[in-house]
Structure 1
Amino acid sequence: MRILHTLHWVQFAGTEKVCVDLCNEFSNENEIFLLSSKEIKSYINDKINLIEIDFEKNRYNPIFLYTIAKIIKNVNPDIIHVHNTKELEIMHNAKIFLDNNVPIVGTRHNPVIKKKFALADLGVAVSDETRLYTNAKKNITILNGIPVKEAVDFEKIDKFKIIAVGRLAPVKGFDNLIKALSLVNFDYELTILGEGEQKEELEKLIKELNLEEKVFLKGFVGNVHDYIYNSDLQVISSIEEGLSLALIEAIFYSKVLLASDIANHKEMLGDKLVFDNTVEDLSKKIKSIYENYSDYEKEFKKLKDRKDEFSIEKMASNYMDAYKSLLKV
């Protein structure tokens, strides 16, 4: 199958990773084209046909739309798969210059309503909660999956190691996590992996709370799984998510995961591994995990035993079935 993916590059975060992993997996047996920025080149394999495009241009500019239409005509895809609503609108509007009507699949990565998402022939939500905000002509749920890698052991340190992963943005709740840890009385080390616009604000907070020797903003790393694997606890403190890739990475690599009470976290993890979205409750839960570690390990193992449901192979198979349903193959 010839599949054209589109991705508006901002930085390598959750949406970008889902698109890249899916393209890389599909390229083993399909012809994959990706419309995106040249910045994504280092993340995709050599089988993928990258077509560099700047999606910052006006989505209503007829010259730009004609350029997109020419690309679509040259690629001649069976399916167009978009990962951002802006590109969905562009792909739809470009059809005025085309004779054939290529089906458009759109993935809804976050539980936020976007009216223009109704232009998609098929909307794919990454969780059942996100599906409530997915308003395409037809809507289904496909859980995210990740490619599994072998993890490497780090040098051991005599501290309780906590990890958090994500874009440094208010929506990720890292400020609440830092504040919560300022209230505990055991020896720990928190490492936050990611880049983003909230970096200076978080650095200031760390300094104000005198946590410079305990909390570290590591930035972007290429081996996130190694850091997760070598931690005692992974925390997802987000105040909004679709289906967090950090949660799926935890299923494969973490010993214990604690997550905020959003999305389908409680449904997946159970009450014990979810905290009320307050600094105080987060602090209490972390303290409880530290003091009763083996109990929480056993609780999290219930989800880890289902890890095959969250593989990249399972995800790609579900998407292929969705594509074929549109093509009636």
Structure 2
Amino acid sequence: MKVALFIASEHYGGAEKAFVELVNAMAQHHDVAAIIIRGNKIGQMVSESVKVYTLKSNPTRYNPLLIFELYILLGWLDPDIIHTHAAKATELVYRVNMLLGKKHLATKHNDRKGRVFNKMQWVTTVSEKAASSIHLGKKGRVWTIYNGIEEEKILSGSLPEKFTVVAVGRLDKIKGFAELIRQVSSLSFPLVLKIIGEGQEYDSLRALIVELGAEGRIELLGFRNDVHQQIHDAHVVVVSSFSEGGPKVLIESLFYGRVFISTPVGAVPEVLPERFIVTQERLGAKLEDVYNNYQQYEAEFARIAAEKKPLFLMTKIIKQYDDLYHYLVEQV
């Protein structure tokens, strides 16, 4: 089957990472084309078996040149199904597909607004919460398919002496990193917070760390290729977001982490019990509780991870998408 997968992101974060992993895994089963926009590092991360096509036009969703370029490319590729990820790519293909008439599946990666998804006939989401944000017509259908992961080997070793907290995500206000930094800076026990990711909030977060005098305990690591190792080498992974889809780091922590806590976003309440979920204003207090009762948290999270990991294996996720692709292609 010929499948064209398209994401129109200008940055690289959890959704983009999930896209790369899905494309790479899907290429083992189908003739896969990955469509991206100029300037995104996604093209450097896909496997050699994936055909990558980069749109050269200015990547604004109302640019007629970009829309025309996409129309020509999709017409030439002539895929059996087009699978778009996130709102921007979905909206662009929705427009050109009025003329092309291809089978179009869209994936929504969060529970925020995205009116274009309400116009679609077929949508997948990465959490039940995200699914509840979509309101389709009578002929529309929504499926929840979690993001997946291919388990990889990492170096095992002892934990660092200082209590280490890792947060992973695009440096964006919606990730809640500023509030996390404020609360961590006021904690009295010795710890280090490592924030992994790039984004437009880097300068403001850096200034906040300096303002709070927290340079010695809070680090902005930028983009890293060893995220799974960083997760494994931390005492706890924390998500401080106001809104999420998955999040991807939840799945990574189930496979590689020791303890994971999060605000009640995305699929987190669908996967974890209340003990590992915390409100935004209680992040610092929860980290202190984890510090004081670490062995209990570690043992309980290990039990949960052993139970939940099979849900997120990439082989299972690919099978779900593969079945769905075949079902959609057969629809008249």
The answer, yes or no, to whether TM exceeds 0.5 is yes
Matched-pair contact (CA < 8 Å) for 1:36–1:50: yes
C-alpha displacement at 1:61, in angstroms? 6.0
Letter in 2 for 1:24: N
Following the alignment from structure 1 to structure 2, what is the Cα–Cα distance between the partners of residues 57 and 185?
46
From the superposition, tell whether residues 266 and 89 of structure 1 become closer, same or farther in structure 2 (CA, over 3 Å): closer
Structure 2 length-normalised TM: 0.91
Choose the corresponding residue for 2:141, options 134, 138, 142: 138
From the superposition, tell whether residues 59 and 10 of structure 1 become closer, same or farther in structure 2 (CA, over 3 Å): closer
Residue deviations 1:190-245 (CA, integer Å, cap 9, x gap)? 11100111111111111122111111000000110000000111111111111100
Following the alignment from structure 1 to structure 2, what is the Cα–Cα distance between the partners of residues 266 and 13?
21
In structure 2, the partner of 1:292 is 293
What secondary structure is seen at the aligned counterpart in 2 of 1:275? coil
Asked whether 1:316 is paired with 2:321, we answer: no
In structure 2, the partner of 1:18 is 18
Matched-pair contact (CA < 8 Å) for 1:164–1:234: yes
Letter in 1 for 2:36: S
TM alignment of 1:91-106, pairs within 5 A = 91-98=93-100, 101-106=101-106
Count the aligned residue pairs.
325
From the superposition, tell whether residues 135 and 104 of structure 1 become closer, same or farther in structure 2 (CA, over 3 Å): farther
Unaligned runs of 5+ in 2: none
From the superposition, tell whether residues 209 and 83 of structure 1 become closer, same or farther in structure 2 (CA, over 3 Å): same
Residue deviations 1:159-200 (CA, integer Å, cap 9, x gap)? 011111001111111112111212322111111100111111
Of 141-150 and 122-131, deviating more is 141-150
From the superposition, tell whether residues 269 and 57 of structure 1 become closer, same or farther in structure 2 (CA, over 3 Å): closer
Following the alignment from structure 1 to structure 2, what is the Cα–Cα distance between the partners of residues 58 and 267?
35
Identical aligned residues as a percent: 28
In structure 1, the partner of 2:113 is 113
Matched-pair contact (CA < 8 Å) for 1:129–1:264: yes
From the superposition, tell whether residues 64 and 161 of structure 1 become closer, same or farther in structure 2 (CA, over 3 Å): closer
What secondary structure is seen at the aligned counterpart in 2 of 1:217? strand
Following the alignment from structure 2 to structure 1, what is the Cα–Cα distance between the partners of residues 66 and 109?
26
From the superposition, tell whether residues 320 and 135 of structure 1 become closer, same or farther in structure 2 (CA, over 3 Å): farther
Matched-pair contact (CA < 8 Å) for 1:55–1:87: no
Matched-pair contact (CA < 8 Å) for 1:88–1:119: no
From the superposition, tell whether residues 70 and 300 of structure 1 become closer, same or farther in structure 2 (CA, over 3 Å): same
Of 12-21 and 246-255, deviating more is 12-21
In structure 2, the partner of 1:210 is 213
Of 131-140 and 200-209, deviating more is 131-140
From the superposition, tell whether residues 178 and 66 of structure 1 become closer, same or farther in structure 2 (CA, over 3 Å): closer
Letter in 2 for 1:171: I
Following the alignment from structure 2 to structure 1, what is the Cα–Cα distance between the partners of residues 202 and 64?
39
From the superposition, tell whether residues 266 and 64 of structure 1 become closer, same or farther in structure 2 (CA, over 3 Å): closer
C-alpha displacement at 1:120, in angstroms? 2.6
Of 66-75 and 302-311, deviating more is 66-75
Letter in 2 for 1:298: A
From the superposition, tell whether residues 68 and 20 of structure 1 become closer, same or farther in structure 2 (CA, over 3 Å): same
Question: Which aligned segments of 4 or more residues in structure 1 are displaced greater than 3 angstroms?
Answer: 54-67, 95-98, 153-157
Matched-pair contact (CA < 8 Å) for 2:262–2:276: yes
C-alpha displacement at 1:293, in angstroms? 0.7
From the superposition, tell whether residues 322 and 76 of structure 1 become closer, same or farther in structure 2 (CA, over 3 Å): same
From the superposition, tell whether residues 187 and 123 of structure 1 become closer, same or farther in structure 2 (CA, over 3 Å): same
Of 225-234 and 109-118, deviating more is 109-118
C-alpha displacement at 1:146, in angstroms? 1.6
Of 4-13 and 132-141, deviating more is 132-141
Matched-pair contact (CA < 8 Å) for 2:4–2:33: yes
In structure 1, the partner of 2:249 is 246
Residue deviations 1:107-145 (CA, integer Å, cap 9, x gap)? 000101222223433111110000011245211111111
From the superposition, tell whether residues 274 and 62 of structure 1 become closer, same or farther in structure 2 (CA, over 3 Å): closer
C-alpha displacement at 1:49, in angstroms? 0.8
Following the alignment from structure 1 to structure 2, what is the Cα–Cα distance between the partners of residues 221 and 60?
33
Following the alignment from structure 2 to structure 1, what is the Cα–Cα distance between the partners of residues 192 and 240?
16
Structure 1 length-normalised TM: 0.92
Following the alignment from structure 2 to structure 1, what is the Cα–Cα distance between the partners of residues 159 and 322?
43
Following the alignment from structure 1 to structure 2, what is the Cα–Cα distance between the partners of residues 325 and 169?
37
Following the alignment from structure 2 to structure 1, what is the Cα–Cα distance between the partners of residues 60 and 221?
36
Residue deviations 1:3-58 (CA, integer Å, cap 9, x gap)? 00111131221121111111100111210011113532211011111111046456
Following the alignment from structure 2 to structure 1, what is the Cα–Cα distance between the partners of residues 160 and 60?
52
Asked whether 1:52 is paired with 2:54, we answer: yes
Matched-pair contact (CA < 8 Å) for 1:124–1:134: no
